[in-house]
Amino acid sequence: MARRESAFPRSHALYHIHNHQVNGLYCITSQNNHNLISKFHIYTRSIILAMAGIVQEYKIPLNQPDDCDNSKYAAEVKNEIIKNGIVRPTGYNVSFHINPMVEKHHFGRSHPMKPWRLTLAKGLIMAYGMHAAMDTFASRRATQEELEEFHTHEYLEYLKTAKVGLPDEDDNKPYNLGSYDCPVFDGLFNYCSIYSGASIDAARKLCNEESDIAINWSGGLHHAKKSEASGFCYVNDIVLAILQMLRRYPRVLYIDIDVHHGDGVEEAFWSSGRVMTVSFHKYDPINFFPGTGGLDETGPKSEINPGAHHAVNVPLNDGIDDDQYLRVFKQVISKCNEKFRPSAIVLQCGADSLAGDRIGTFNVLVQGHGACVEYIKTLNLPLMLVGGGGYTPRNVARAWTNETSIAIGAKLHEELPLHTPYRSHFRDQSLYPDLTELLAAKGQTGAKRNHNTEKKINDIVSSIHEQLRFVEHAPSVQSQQIPPDLTAWKQEVDDKIREEREEEESFRLQKEEGLGVLREYGVKTVIPELLDVAFFDGIESHGKTQLPWPWQQVGRHKFGDCKTVTLFKIY
């Protein structure tokens, strides 16, 4: 097996399993149904990673059953591929980003978040043979530099060194770590780096046009803030992925169908006109986390802030069913697409909006959840699918398996394959359980009453359509392809910009000294169309402007009246 150096640093290199390479990265894929037995056997036993310069064989964790590791299993998968008519999509590529090492992490015995749900989902996806229709990448860990694209250095350093077993009685929990929602557990930073790395890699595949639909079911942790863990989320992989995409795409539409409000992503891009966030969630400001996402939370109040009207929230009540959910989803998204005209889409597919979820309160079925993905696919834009919530593992696996099939355009048989790993965990062994079966997982005998009246749904849609009237099409933004080694490229650009600014500052100081005028360090004037001046009230600068993310000083301009105006740019 030939080995070739990757464009990534050695510790990040991916090596190809067979004869398919993309722009210096190597993927594991089956181009057709021929030789599937040997290719799948290679996939399950020999995902090769470069680690510290040594090529090592990857071994499946969690003591996966022997039936998944022999020629009989591979033959059964081949038959399943033929049975379901699974082929590679025509006219577009789907990439599947996984790192099975994320599955072994454990939040705690009583904690609702179970990374093991990813084992069930991956096993079911592979059992149907859908890997034959996708380019499958063993994703790398994100570097700390990449995580610092959004998160603060201090927060990440604490995340790396946090100790397991912080006492519950200790009220001092820095960065909200050690709380019940966000416990400290073994391998915490490693866990965050793995799922974030998968989302970053997925975004880069889209940017480089190596993929049209990129999937990372381990991602979607939408509550994490810049320097705070929140709601089972420690690092916001979605924000990191969107930041990558903004280097290539002028406008990104973020859609969230988790039962919880996508507050972390909304907050990160609150003042951005290049990202529109749309969240469909249960809203109860007192009794349901995070208590945000009301209909009136539409972005900054100042009309000259570019983020005004770019936060779209769809607050729902308990018990909404497939018909209502899909209707409001289509009516809202179609108008957002019309007004915002996105260049790419990120869809967070949190499965806690399914009926029978341990935490969720909706009556949405696997089919209804998947119909949202199917509708987004029809928009024919670069699409990234990420996971999110979901606290009944077997239903999470069902939903994400169904949505993977939608991504590749396959129609799956309802009965789960007999060779599915852990098949006994699925009770009725059906991919599409009815409402009764879903609710049984939660110990319910009947559906939760639907508290969403038709009037309420119509009022929500009308209000959002009115909000979107004020959204102006974002201006064209220059973009460029993302090179494989983004870190080195970014450092080179940053160094060049810094040198140019130092030269400009040196020239300005010399000129002011010659004129005998005061040096102007504290100017707080900005380009009016970018930002409300009041946003920077109180910010004093002595030599260097310190601005909150995502604003950055990009230069100064002198007008005829000799006033120096500081120019700012949003990233």
Q: Which CATH number does the domain housing residue 300 bear? A: 3.40.800.20
Report the distance separating Cα 266 and Cα 254, nearest Å: 9
Q: Are residues 263 and 162 in the same domain?
A: yes
pLDDT value at residue 507: 64
Give this prediction's pTM: 0.74
Task: Tell me the C-alpha to C-alpha distance, in Å, between residue 496 and each of 246, 502, 503, 510, 551.
Answer: 21, 10, 11, 21, 19
Residue type, 420: T
> How many domains is the chain built from?
2
Alpha helices (H) along 384-453:
393-408, 435-440
Last residue of a domain, one of 420, 442, 468: 468
Report the distance separating Cα 527 and Cα 520, nearest Å: 17
Catalytic (active-site) positions:
223
Beta strands in 78-212 (DSSP E): 94-98, 135-138
Last residue of a domain, one of 434, 468, 502: 468
- Residue 233 domain flag: yes
Q: Are residues 116 and 213 in the same domain?
A: yes
pLDDT value at residue 559: 44
- Encoded tokens for 452: 């969403």
Q: Are residues 183 and 265 in the same domain?
A: yes
Q: Are residues 454 and 516 in the same domain?
A: no
**Residue 541 DSSP SS3:** coil
Q: Are residues 440 and 553 in the same domain?
A: no
- Residue 219 domain flag: yes
Which single residue is written with the structure tokens 């009965």? 415
**Residues 401 and 431: beta-carbon distance below 8 Å:** yes
Q: Are residues 211 and 267 in the same domain?
A: yes
Report the distance separating Cα 86 and Cα 30, nearest Å: 11
Going by C-alpha positions, the residue among 116, 400, 121, 347 that lies closest to residue 238 is 347
Residue type, 142: A
**Residue 558 DSSP SS3:** strand
Domain of residue 93, residue span: 89-468
pLDDT by 10-residue block (mean), the chain, 571 residues: 38 33 36 41 37 38 53 91 95 95 91 94 96 94 97 96 66 84 94 97 97 98 97 98 98 98 98 98 96 96 94 97 98 97 98 95 97 98 98 96 98 94 89 86 73 96 96 60 52 67 67 47 38 42 46 52 49 42
pLDDT value at residue 495: 72
Residue type, 410: A
Report the distance separating Cα 571 and Cα 565, nearest Å: 20
Q: Are residues 464 and 500 in the same domain?
A: no
Element (H, E) at 302: none
Q: Are residues 448 and 524 in the same domain?
A: no
pLDDT value at residue 448: 81
**Phi, psi angle pair for 421, to nearest 5°:** -60, 140
pLDDT value at residue 37: 37
Last residue of a domain, one of 468, 496, 518: 468
pLDDT value at residue 570: 47
- Residue 103 domain flag: yes
Alpha helices (H) along 378-453:
393-408, 435-440
**Residues 202 and 215: beta-carbon distance below 8 Å:** yes
pLDDT value at residue 31: 39
Q: Are residues 448 and 490 in the same domain?
A: no
**Residues 332 and 461: beta-carbon distance below 8 Å:** yes
